[in-house]
Amino acid sequence: MYWVEMLFQTEFFSNPVLNKILKPILSQRTPRIHHFPELSDDVIAHNKKVPGTVGLKTQLELFRIFYLVKGLDKASRFAELVKDVDNCHDCGLCEGAKNRVNGEGDMDSRVVFLGEAPGRREDDSGRPFVGSAGKLLDNLLAGAGINRARIFISNVVRCRPPGNRRPKRSEVEACSHFIERLLEIIAPYVITPMGNSAIKFLFERYGLGEAVIGDVHGKPIKVEMPWGRVLVFPLYHPAAAIYNRKLLEVLEADMKTLVALL
């Protein structure tokens, strides 16, 4: 439980009116600052200040500030992570890479999509999923009513493998602590590995059994993470569906299942 939620349990924030207003917001996995309501004059007028606590309006303002701090905290932890990735030479893939691709998106997203590795377009731009597979992913997201700007997308390795080959197991292992740090910062409700490398990595890392994509795609698996219960929801990699109509239909159906989970 995050320290803001813990603070909420204390006597200082024991105002029953505030509890009623904030409980549904704080019970969301990723409450956002804009979820906090303005207090109407009526609510304020009806609220009697509880002895030993601060007033309702002050408490709500404090919560706004705490959540602003929480957002800044995520941003600063992500900036630290990017700095560490930039200085990393652990697996040697960086030697042939132009850019390290950390990922991008909403730090408060309920879902993190994890691909395999940057390709040529991603290496050139430093952004994930901007090539043809990225365009297909954008279409799939849009078709399912998901705004790409409101999710987070990354890869299991940060540097492009030469010739777009699949990253080796040793390279995925060397890069894995960056993914784990990223996931802890964002603390998503759903992790969506796309393609064999990402699925294999998550299944091995969290002891989820055999990772045969044909069997596991589109099926959520519960995993306990340091920030709470998470669903791992494997998908085919969009690149595999570019010239395969059948796989595209499978991906479209799985994406709809994913939306229902969010």
- The arrangement of strands across the sheet holding 104-105 comes to 104-105, 152-155, 111-115, 190-193, 228-232, 221-225
* Among 60, 101, 141, 174, contact with ligand SF4 (rule: CB under 6 A): 174
* Among 21, 22, 81, 91, contact with ligand SF4 (rule: CB under 6 A): 91
Minimum distance from residue 181 beta carbon to ligand SF4 (Å): 12
Binding segment toward ligand SF4, per CB under 6 A, in 15-23, 27-35, 70-78, 168-176: 168-176
**CA angle, 34 then 140 then 202, to 5°:** 80
**Measured between alpha carbons, how far is 55 from 137 in angstroms, rounded to an integer?**
48
Q: Closest CB to ligand SF4 among 153 and 216?
A: 153
State the alpha helices, DSSP H only, in 187-261.
196-205, 213-216, 245-261
Binding segment toward ligand SF4, per CB under 6 A, in 29-37, 151-159, 193-201, 202-210: 151-159
Binding segment toward ligand SF4, per CB under 6 A, in 84-92, 191-199, 215-223, 244-252: 84-92
**Measured between alpha carbons, how far is 16 from 39 in angstroms, rounded to an integer?**
14
Q: Kindly give, in sequence order, each residue whose CB lies less than 8 Å from that of residue 95, ignoring residues fewer than 6 positions away.
A: 89
Q: Kindly give, in sequence order, each residue whose CB lies less than 8 Å from that of residue 224, ignoring residues fewer than 6 positions away.
A: 230
Q: Closest CB to ligand SF4 among 90 and 104?
A: 90
Minimum distance from residue 78 beta carbon to ligand SF4 (Å): 15
* Site of interaction with ligand SF4 (CB under 6 A): 85, 88-91, 93-94, 100, 157-159, 171, 174-175
